[in-house]
């Protein structure tokens, strides 16, 4: 007797369902898609920033060193950046809705496991699993918007998604502190569980079935085997080099591994018939310029977020709470500006917004380098930097996604999110290095005056990076041919 009937219920879990008619008939159905994607965008950034405030609590709870506790954050970042491009490629073949929905399942289940973790080793392991779920969400979030929203509204939609990410980033430290105060460190992970359940239900009902999928071919496992250790080694070297010293044998070895593995990856992708990453995407000026300028913008953003607390706490003697509140001004300004910039990009194109955004960012950083005599003045300058980043981010992301063929939207989204991770690590590493060198120029130790001097030097360096990003953005094409939307 055939067991086919018993298999059918399980098979339905691997097939994307059509949306209910009441969703399809709505003229604003594509905005429901944006709202659903924003749940994942918000939670992903909230979870990335919320854990940093828990380091002292985790150190006390497990009785271990701060270096060991930092792997709770580093393991998440390493895995997310290493696999997000591969997940995007897989989604292009098997279905973006499918992987996005199950990304919520994995993320929520891993969050529950993190909240119940009996040891630090177990917590780090569950964070790795959580990063897999986050990669399934992030690789598909922008791709789902790009294939669901009419071209005329694409910039605005991606701007809203960018605002959700900025809001999650801004609220992470304050929400984390509140939850730890209410119920301990486990609560910062358990809070993801109800949000994950809402995300699963919303995605299953509201997201359209995937169209314009890439042909199913054998996955490029050899490319992944080179790419993952290469990116992980690069990210580890950038993240750990600030403390260990970039000339230390371990860090030099990590950089060598990164160069060899990523060089081998490029050779592999050029020779294989169905590559994990189609390097032909980079022959499109709007795509390659968008990725390069986006990388620099993330380095500038997270370099700024890294260096400001040092000025406020060690330079001005402010408390950690005040420093966190002042720092929130930047992502808040970014979040308020991004949707407006996206709407403007729909009318005027991406290039004017991306170039002007990076110029405004450079101006804000230059002002911070020269006029930072008070906490209030610094808050105004951070707001300017946030506005500049908001002007840049959503138009740039929209241009990147519009320049990629429909059947490669997942790959493009994966590369976009990988760029964010590597740019984050690069910005923090450079800012930490320049801050240390600038402070050391004033004499030994981290006295208030030397920290202020190091801050000024770091801001000037970041302003220079922002101007380079503006030049690269100016070289991009207009980006974006007509893109059909997915309706079922």
* DSSP track, 37-92: HHHHHHHHHHHHHHGGGGHHHHHHHHT--HHHHTHHHHHHHHHHHHHHHHHHHHHH
Q: Quick one: DSSP state of residue 209?
A: P
Which two three-digit tokens encode residue 223? 């490319």
Candidates 1.20.1250.20, 1.10.287.110, 3.30.460.80, 1.10.357.10; correct CATH number of 277-482?
A: 1.20.1250.20
To 10 degrees, what angle do helices 329-348 and 320-327 make? 10
Give tens-digit pLDDT for 263-316: 998 898 888 877 777 777 788 888 888 889 999 998 999 888 888 888 887 788
Distance separating alpha carbons of residues 192 and 110, to the nearest angstrom: 9
CB 354, CB 286: distance < 8 Å: no
Distance separating alpha carbons of residues 420 and 290, to the nearest angstrom: 12
Residue 1: per-residue pLDDT: 43
* DSSP track, 171-197: HHHHHHHHHHHHH-TTHHHHTHHHHHH
Residue 28: per-residue pLDDT: 84
pTM for the complete prediction? 0.78
- 276 to 92, 93, 292, 410, 414: CA distances (angstroms): 11, 11, 20, 11, 11
Distance separating alpha carbons of residues 386 and 304, to the nearest angstrom: 10
Distance separating alpha carbons of residues 223 and 225, to the nearest angstrom: 5
Residue 479: per-residue pLDDT: 44
Third-level CATH fold of 13-211: Growth Hormone; Chain: A; (1.20.1250)
Give tens-digit pLDDT for 28-50: 888 999 989 888 888 888 887 77
Residue 118: per-residue pLDDT: 94
Q: Which residues of 310-321 are buried (b: 16+ CB within 10 A; e: fewer)?
A: bbbbbbbebeee
In the block, tokens 């429901």 appear at 32
Residue 485: per-residue pLDDT: 54
Q: Measuring CA to CA, which residue among 310, 301, 251, 299 is closest to residue 435? A: 310
pLDDT tens string, the chain, 488 residues long: the values are: 444 444 455 566 677 777 888 888 888 888 999 989 888 888 888 887 778 777 778 888 888 876 788 788 888 888 888 888 888 888 888 888 888 899 999 999 999 999 999 999 999 999 999 999 988 888 888 788 888 888 888 888 888 887 888 788 777 777 877 888 888 889 989 988 998 999 899 888 888 887 766 677 777 888 888 888 888 888 888 878 777 788 889 999 999 999 999 999 889 888 887 777 777 778 888 888 888 999 999 899 988 888 888 888 778 887 767 777 888 888 889 888 988 888 888 888 888 999 999 999 999 999 999 887 788 889 999 999 999 999 998 888 888 877 877 777 777 777 887 888 788 878 888 888 888 777 665 554 445 567 888 889 999 999 999 999 999 998 875 444 444 455 55
Which two three-digit tokens encode residue 130? 């959580």
Residue 358: per-residue pLDDT: 95
Residue 253: per-residue pLDDT: 93
Question: Cα 81 to chain center, whole Å?
Answer: 9
């Amino acid at each position: 007797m055939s067991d086919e009937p018993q298999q059918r219920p399980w098979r339905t879990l691997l097939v994307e369902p059509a949306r209910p008619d009441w969703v399809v008939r709505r003229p604003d159905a594509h905005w429901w898609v944006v709202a659903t994607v924003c749940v994942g965008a918000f939670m992903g950034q909230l979870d990335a920033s919320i854990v940093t405030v828990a380091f002292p609590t985790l150190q006390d709870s497990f009785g271990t060193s701060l270096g060991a506790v930092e792997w709770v954050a580093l393991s998440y970042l390493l895995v997310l950046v290493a696999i997000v491009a591969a997940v995007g490629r897989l989604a292009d073949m098997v279905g973006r809705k499918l992987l996005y929905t199950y990304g919520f399942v994995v993320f929520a289940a891993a969050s529950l496991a993190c909240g119940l973790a009996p040891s630090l080793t177990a917590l780090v392991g569950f964070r790795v699993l959580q990063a897999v779920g986050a990669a399934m969400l992030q690789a598909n979030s922008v791709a789902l918007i790009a294939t669901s929203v009419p071209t005329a509204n694409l910039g605005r939609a991606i701007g809203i998604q960018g605002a959700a990410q900025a809001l999650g980033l801004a609220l992470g430290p304050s929400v984390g502190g509140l939850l730890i105060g209410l119920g301990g460190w486990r609560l910062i992970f358990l809070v993801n569980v109800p949000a994950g359940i809402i995300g699963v239900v919303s995605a299953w009902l509201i997201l359209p079935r995937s169209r314009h999928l890439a042909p199913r071919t054998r996955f490029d496992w050899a490319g992944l085997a080179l790419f993952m250790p290469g990116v992980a080694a690069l990210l580890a070297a950038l993240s750990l080099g600030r403390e260990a010293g970039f000339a230390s044998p371990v860090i030099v070895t990590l950089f060598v591994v990164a160069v060899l593995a990523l060089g081998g990856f490029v050779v592999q992708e050029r020779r294989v018939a169905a590559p994990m990453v189609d390097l032909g995407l980079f022959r499109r000026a709007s795509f390659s310029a968008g990725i390069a300028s986006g990388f620099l913008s993330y380095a500038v953003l997270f370099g700024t977020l890294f260096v400001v607390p040092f000025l406020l706490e060690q330079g001005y003697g402010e408390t950690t709470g005040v420093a966190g509140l002042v720092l929130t001004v930047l992502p808040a300004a970014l979040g308020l500006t991004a949707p407006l910039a996206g709407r403007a990009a729909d009318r005027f194109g991406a290039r004017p917004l991306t170039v002007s955004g990076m110029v405004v960012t450079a101006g804000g950083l230059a002002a911070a380098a020269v006029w930072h005599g008070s906490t209030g003045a610094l808050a105004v300058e951070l707001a300017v930097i946030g506005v500049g980043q908001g002007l840049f981010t959503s138009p740039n992301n929209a241009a990147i996604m519009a320049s990629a063929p429909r059947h490669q939207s997942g790959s493009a989204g994966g590369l976009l999110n990988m760029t964010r991770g590597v740019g984050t690590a690069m910005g923090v590493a450079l800012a930490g290095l320049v801050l240390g060198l600038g402070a050391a120029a004033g004499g030994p130790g981290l006295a208030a005056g030397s920290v202020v001097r190091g801050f000024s030097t770091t801001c000037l360096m970041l302003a220079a990076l922002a101007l380079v990003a503006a030049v690269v953005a100016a070289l991009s094409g207009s980006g974006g041919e007509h893109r059909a939307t997915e309706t079922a």
